[in-house]
Amino acid sequence: MLDVKRMVILRDLAEHGKVTAVADLHRVTPSAVSQQLRALEAEAGAVLVERDGRGLRLTPAGAALAAACDPVLAALERAEGAVRALDAGPVGELHVGCAPSALATVAAPLVAALAARHPGLRPRIVQADPEDALPLLRGRRLDLAVTYAYPLLGAPPASGTTAVPLFDDPLCLALPEALLPAYGRDGLAALRDADWVSAPAPSSCREMLVHACRNAGFTPRIAHECGDLRAGLWLVATGRAASILPKLLCDAPPPGTAVVELPGRGRVLEALVRAGTETRPAVAAALAALTALPVTGR
């Protein structure tokens, strides 16, 4: 019988490509990862990895086994959920990762809604950008993540997860008020010589800004990097920068800053769970509360 935890290590090696990255993800040493891979090879009766320079790569047998991991995990999650569904109701801790831009609009109302409907359920909110929330979710350190995706970037859904759309959040251009007439005449192209405020890389918010500007015929000169794009509006207010950011972050622009909603679809706020956990009482209660929230500020 194959050990599921060792299959997860193999899957993560297929995704991240480096033993050190897998070791960091699982909070173990690289030698422990190698030992688990050798043990999995003994269980499978096949060579799963081979040397590739100073690293490892999966053999065809290893790639096939890694691809089978997520369906196996989803089946186990559903089995565990069937057992928990026999409980009297959702109780215990529920660990929720939340993108910073959704803390006030989604996470706080979720905590209030669960307290009213399910007093035995104790939500624990952790601020986490999508890039950080996904490994925490897949590593079972989160039960649910409030995250977002940009459909126009075409990124595929994360394997082993199920996304529940919550609402659309349009994109807005923040620019100095003095540049509004030029923008009204030439669109984004009027800002080709501006400095831009962006989230640090790697970030889907940064990718979307670059994507929007290139569609307008230029590559933005990113002069300022801010993890908090709402705070970055103060750089726009100096009259020397521009930014593209979600509407949820534009509720109180500083004086001298104009905010214009951009045409087209922006980002989608969504709840992300491990595939197979949707029917667990605690997760199902959180999903029901999230989809029922009267979201404001859009």
Q: Please state, in angstroms and rounded to a whole number, the distance separating the CA atoms of residues 130 and 108.
A: 18
pLDDT tens-digit map of 236-264: 999 989 999 999 999 889 999 999 999 88
What are the E-state strand segments in 40-153? Answer: 49-52, 55-58, 92-98, 121-127, 144-149
pLDDT, the chain, mean: 89
- Sign of the torsion formed by the C-alpha atoms of 233, 239, 242 and 248: positive
Residue 280 scores a pLDDT above 80: yes
- Note the pTM of the prediction, 2 decimals: 0.77
Residue 197 scores a pLDDT above 90: yes
Q: How confident is the model at residue 193 (pLDDT cuts 50, 70, 90)?
A: very high
The percentage of the chain sitting over the pLDDT mark of 70, rounded to a whole number, equals 97
Give the residue with greater pLDDT, 111 vs 52. 111
- Which pLDDT does position 254 carry in this prediction? 94
Mean pLDDT of 66-81: 80
Mean pLDDT of 173-199: 94
Q: How confident is the model at residue 295 (pLDDT cuts 50, 70, 90)?
A: low
Q: Please state, in angstroms and rounded to a whole number, the distance separating the CA atoms of residues 74 and 7.
A: 13
Mean pLDDT of 223-242: 93
212, burial (CB in 10 Å: exposed 0-12, middle 13-18, buried 19+): middle
Residue 209 scores a pLDDT above 90: yes
Q: Please state, in angstroms and rounded to a whole number, the distance separating the CA atoms of residues 81 and 83.
A: 5
pLDDT tens-digit map of 128-140: 998 889 989 988 8
Residue 272 scores a pLDDT above 90: yes
pLDDT tens-digit map of 86-96: 666 788 999 99
- Which pLDDT does position 86 carry in this prediction? 67
Q: How confident is the model at residue 268 (pLDDT cuts 50, 70, 90)?
A: very high
Peptide bond into 202 cis (omega under 30): yes
pLDDT tens-digit map of 149-174: 998 887 777 888 999 999 999 999 99
